[in-house]
A = this chain, B = another copy of it.
Amino acid sequence: MGLSGRSILGNELGKTGGKIFHAINPATGQELEPNYYSADAKEVDSAARMAATAFPEYSAVSGKTKGALLRKIAERIEGLGDDLVTRAVQETALPPARIKNETARTCFQLRLFAEVVEEGSWVDARIDRGDPGRKPAPKLDVRSLWRALGPVAVFCASNFPIAFSVAGGDTASALAAGNPVVVRAHAAHPGTAEMVGQVIQRAVKESGLPEGIFSLLFDAGTEGGLALVNHTAIKAVGFTGSRHGGRALMDAAAARPEPIPVFAEMSSTNPVFILPGAMKERGVEIAKGVHASVTLGAGQFCTKPGVVVVGNDAPAREFATSVREMMKASGEFTLLTSRIHEAYRTGVEARSREDKVRQAPRAGEDATASGFRVNTALFETDAHAFIENEDLQSEIFGPSTLIVRHDSRDELLAIARGLEGHLTATLHGTENDLREFADLVAILETKVGRLIFNGYPTGVEVCHAMVHGGPYPATSDGRSTSVGTQAIYRFARPVCYQDFPDASLPDELKNENPLGIWRLVDGQMTRDKLTATAGVKSA
């Protein structure tokens, strides 16, 4: 499969005009072929309009049809095999095994959403049957379900070239719910994006679905993305990236004549709390786990533990020593992009100058000459300094973390209370610790989307119960998740039908329950068929 460097506009390709950019190999700093051409304003407009045109037809297709599309995309991505791995490794410097895992995860995710829409109960069908005899007024027959929202703009993440990119979670959930998507590729891995984009383009065509349900735009800068968010045809935005970038999209979307929802997953420091019982029992083992989690993927996960809260006793000091040694002994890491590389160097340098923050000795300077190589950076501070200086809970994207020591339970709780919104919080403890620190858990429940016990925040299971979200600034809207099947509700809205004849209702709401889905009927969950209802007026 050849790379063209051109955007994908439905069944067509974009022009070769537009601002040119290249992928860069982070390991060498060298440009990769081919040229990539930024979509111009006309192409952005065309993609958004095609999506709007495709919306009515696509939103009305069956769950089976949408499921088949998602399965076809997954199959075709798997079919890319080593070509995809090779290109993604070139563009990200991530190890091949990681790219393979990420691809498997992406395809699993597409198929899980296929299952959800094929089964069909996700629409939360609700039926309240009418009662013409009710006093003082007859009760109306009201039936609701969730429907697709409209064309969705999806922004690819820098740090997941597959799983949070062209065919990632936002695309999968948007397509599953019945929405066309216009994807804006990340400029760091356009080749990977194009390969996956070509696969989707072909899958859409072969499925006989309207071409406008998928377009992929390249953009050297931020203009194209902003134009997309400001386009009247776009009804929602999915984004994974920096707080700065996410907030810019939130502000743009909120300022539109018709504001639209933005689901931005931005920054998170994922505090880890090591409670006394666990520290005593297995502090050194936890140190190994923390080190592995901090350095996994060169620390470039939104779930990287960036703050580790420990006590001030002997086991805690031993823990810190152990983390210090492992961090120093880690080899160099190659970061994804020049921007991330620069932000890491700046962030580490700034933190090293913070008052009352001690930096552990490092293995060496962060390289600049060629490639985006850095060393780990470990910082240590106390509860007072952490609570007083909110910069210390901001994210340093890369292999760095901060150990915060507290002297008392009160300090521990004050640290928790002072936290802003994060994606996760982790507790290491014995079951007894967990009971004793129930008040800590209660605080953390209000701060994050996922609470982890005796594990590590990196590694986000794709499943029905996953909540990969959390209060601002972790995300733009803590009432949502970007991983797991609940993500489908981002791109859907409820609609109800009052006194409609059975034959004109969507299948999900018909008396017969032809799809056999779960429904809330007069307040009771059931999969039963309904007998003729009293409430439907005859026309």
Residues of chain A having any CB pair with chain B under 8 Å: 55-56, 59-60, 101, 115, 119, 121, 124, 126-128, 136-137, 139-140, 142-144, 147, 149-150, 250-251, 254-255, 258-261, 278, 420-421, 429-431, 433-435, 438, 441-443, 445-446, 448-455, 459, 461, 463-467, 469, 471-473, 476-481, 486, 489, 492-501, 503-504, 518, 520, 522-523, 525, 537-539
Given A128-B466, A258-B420, A454-B539, 19 more A-B residue pairs with CB atoms under 8 Å apart are A60-B442, A137-B459, A140-B459, A144-B466, A144-B467, A144-B486, A149-B479, A250-B259, A431-B501, A434-B539, A449-B494, A451-B495, A454-B537, A455-B498, A464-B520, A464-B523, A469-B494, A479-B489, A481-B494
Nearest chain B CB to A13's CB is how many angstroms away? 30
In the complex, what distance in Å separates the CA atom of A538 from the CA atom of B494?
41
21 pairs, CB–CB < 8 Å, chain A vs chain B = A56-B443, A119-B523, A126-B465, A128-B464, A140-B461, A142-B461, A144-B465, A144-B486, A254-B254, A278-B539, A431-B504, A433-B539, A434-B539, A435-B503, A435-B504, A445-B495, A455-B499, A464-B523, A469-B493, A479-B489, A481-B494
Q: Which residue on chain B has the smallest CB distance to residue A441? A: B504
* B140-A496 in contact (CB<8A): no
In the complex, what distance in Å separates the CA atom of A431 from the CA atom of B480?
39
* A431-B495 in contact (CB<8A): no
* A500-B453 in contact (CB<8A): yes
Nearest chain B CB to A321's CB is how many angstroms away? 24
* A455-B140 in contact (CB<8A): yes
Nearest chain B CB to A247's CB is how many angstroms away? 9
In the complex, what distance in Å separates the CA atom of A140 from the CA atom of B431?
18
In the complex, what distance in Å separates the CA atom of A55 from the CA atom of B443?
11
* B478-A493 in contact (CB<8A): yes
In the complex, what distance in Å separates the CA atom of A492 from the CA atom of B465?
16
* B498-A258 in contact (CB<8A): no
List, in ascending order, chain B residues with CB within 8 A of A518's CB: 525
List, in ascending order, chain B residues with CB within 8 A of A501's CB: 431, 434, 453
* A499-B453 in contact (CB<8A): yes
List, in ascending order, chain B residues with CB within 8 A of A441's CB: 504
List, in ascending order, chain B residues with CB within 8 A of A446's CB: 55-56, 59, 150
In the complex, what distance in Å separates the CA atom of A142 from the CA atom of B421?
20
Nearest chain B CB to A387's CB is how many angstroms away? 16
Q: Which residue on chain B has the smallest CB distance to residue A142? A: B465
In the complex, what distance in Å separates the CA atom of A281 from the CA atom of B142?
25
In the complex, what distance in Å separates the CA atom of A438 from the CA atom of B142?
19
Of A56, A126, A255, A494, which is in contact with the most chain B CB atoms at under 10 Å from its CB?
A494
Q: Give the 6 A-B residue pairs with the shortest CB-CB distance, closest first.
A: A254-B254, A126-B465, A128-B463, A467-B496, A144-B465, A431-B539
* B434-A472 in contact (CB<8A): no
In the complex, what distance in Å separates the CA atom of A260 from the CA atom of B475?
11
State which of B142, B434, B478 has its C-beta within 8 Å of the C-beta of A463: B142
* B477-A261 in contact (CB<8A): yes
List, in ascending order, chain B residues with CB within 8 A of A147's CB: 445
List, in ascending order, chain B residues with CB within 8 A of A450's CB: 495-498
List, in ascending order, chain B residues with CB within 8 A of A429's CB: 539
* A254-B261 in contact (CB<8A): no
Of A147, A465, A480, which is in contact with the most chain B CB atoms at under 10 Å from its CB?
A465
* B127-A465 in contact (CB<8A): yes
Nearest chain B CB to A323's CB is how many angstroms away? 21
List, in ascending order, chain B residues with CB within 8 A of A449's CB: 493-496
Nearest chain B CB to A92's CB is how many angstroms away? 20
* A451-B498 in contact (CB<8A): yes
Q: Which residue on chain B has the smallest CB distance to residue A116? A: B523
In the complex, what distance in Å separates the CA atom of A322 from the CA atom of B150?
39
List, in ascending order, chain B residues with CB within 8 A of A453's CB: 497-501, 504, 537, 539
* A452-B503 in contact (CB<8A): no
State which of B55, B454, B467, B539 has its C-beta within 8 Å of the C-beta of A499: B454
List, in ascending order, chain B residues with CB within 8 A of A140's CB: 455, 459, 461
In the complex, what distance in Å separates the CA atom of A455 from the CA atom of B59?
27
List, in ascending order, chain B residues with CB within 8 A of A469's CB: 493-494
* B143-A465 in contact (CB<8A): yes
